[in-house]
């Protein structure tokens, strides 16, 4: 499989790159910073230096052309302000979907988040509320498209070692999940095109990942 990952230097993206490369897939990680190329290569992928906040649809379509699937795993990250929550977490996802449609790449897996219905909570910090709105808008846009999309919404993320077991369903109680387990679920979704059209929530749990994915598929 040939997979393009937007946000290729992210923690989940690098883990996914390693998993896919180790099993023989070709992985291209889209990164904004040339200094991140070495990390993508160390994980077994190839790097494409492209700033999704400023690229044209045609540039991104060229980058994903010939791929079997694209994964949106980009994010503005900690320390970014309200404006970049929109330009990365929403607009870059929309741009990648535009490019996938233009290039004829049908399979599109998007990393979202749980709890996107909370931005109007008056206790919510302004920047986090902007993040929630941006992710919700990106998901809403993707769901209108004629692509074989799947949206994965993990709970709170940890760097604990992989457990290999999860809870995966359309709706689950908010809880934590390891980034390693999120990456493994993403790899499994790419292997299961019958999960297209599903919005799935993911937290830690007691069901082996392959079994959880097979039950969803």
pLDDT over 70 for what percent of the chain?
Answer: 100
Q: Which residues of 103-130 are buried (b: 16+ CB within 10 A; e: fewer)?
A: bebbbbbbbbbbebeebeeeeeeebebb
Q: What is the mean pLDDT of the chain?
A: 96
Active site residues: 131
H helix intervals, 37-191: 37-42, 57-64, 82-84, 91-103, 126-143, 179-190
Q: What confidence tens digit (pLDDT) does each residue in 74-131 have? A: 998 877 888 999 999 999 999 999 999 999 999 999 999 998 988 777 788 888 889 9
From CA 217, how far away is CA 195, in angstroms rounded? 5
- SS3 of 33-52: the string is CHHHHHHHHHCCCEEEECCC
* pLDDT band of 68, cuts 50, 70, 90: very high
How many beta carbons lie within 10 A of that of residue 141, not counting itself?
16
- Nearest to 53, CA basis, from 154, 134, 146, 143: 134
For residue 214, give the 3-state DSSP assignment: helix
Question: How high is the pLDDT of residue 113?
Answer: 95
Question: How high is the pLDDT of residue 196?
Answer: 98
How many beta carbons lie within 10 A of that of residue 32, not counting itself?
19
Q: What confidence tens digit (pLDDT) does each residue in 188-200 have? A: 999 999 999 999 9
* pLDDT band of 65, cuts 50, 70, 90: very high
From CA 146, how far away is CA 141, in angstroms rounded? 11
Q: What is the pTM of this model?
A: 0.96
Question: How high is the pLDDT of residue 120?
Answer: 78
């Amino acid at each position: 499989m040939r997979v393009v990952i937007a946000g290729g230097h992210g923690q989940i993206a690098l883990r996914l790159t390693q998993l896919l490369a180790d099993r023989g897939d070709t992985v291209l990680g889209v990164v904004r910073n040339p200094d991140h190329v070495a990390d993508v290569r160390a994980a077994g992928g190839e790097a494409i230096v492209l700033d999704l906040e400023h690229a044209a649809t045609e540039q991104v379509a060229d980058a994903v052309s010939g791929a079997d699937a694209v994964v949106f795993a980009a994010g503005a990250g900690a320390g970014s302000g309200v404006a970049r929550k929109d330009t990365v977490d929403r607009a870059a996802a929309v741009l990648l979907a535009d490019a996938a449609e233009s290039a004829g790449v049908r399979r599109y897996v998007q990393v979202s988040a749980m709890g996107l219905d909370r931005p109007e909570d008056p206790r919510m910090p302004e920047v986090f509320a902007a993040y929630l709105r941006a992710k919700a808008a990106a998901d809403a846009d993707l769901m209108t498209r004629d692509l074989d999309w799947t949206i994965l919404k993990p709970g709170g993320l940890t760097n604990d070692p992989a457990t290999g077991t999860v809870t995966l369903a359309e709706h689950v109680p908010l809880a934590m999940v390891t980034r390693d387990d999120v990456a493994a679920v993403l790899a499994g979704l790419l292997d299961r095109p019958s999960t297209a059209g599903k919005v799935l929530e993911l937290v830690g749990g007691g069901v082996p990942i392959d079994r959880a994915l097979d039950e969803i598929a």
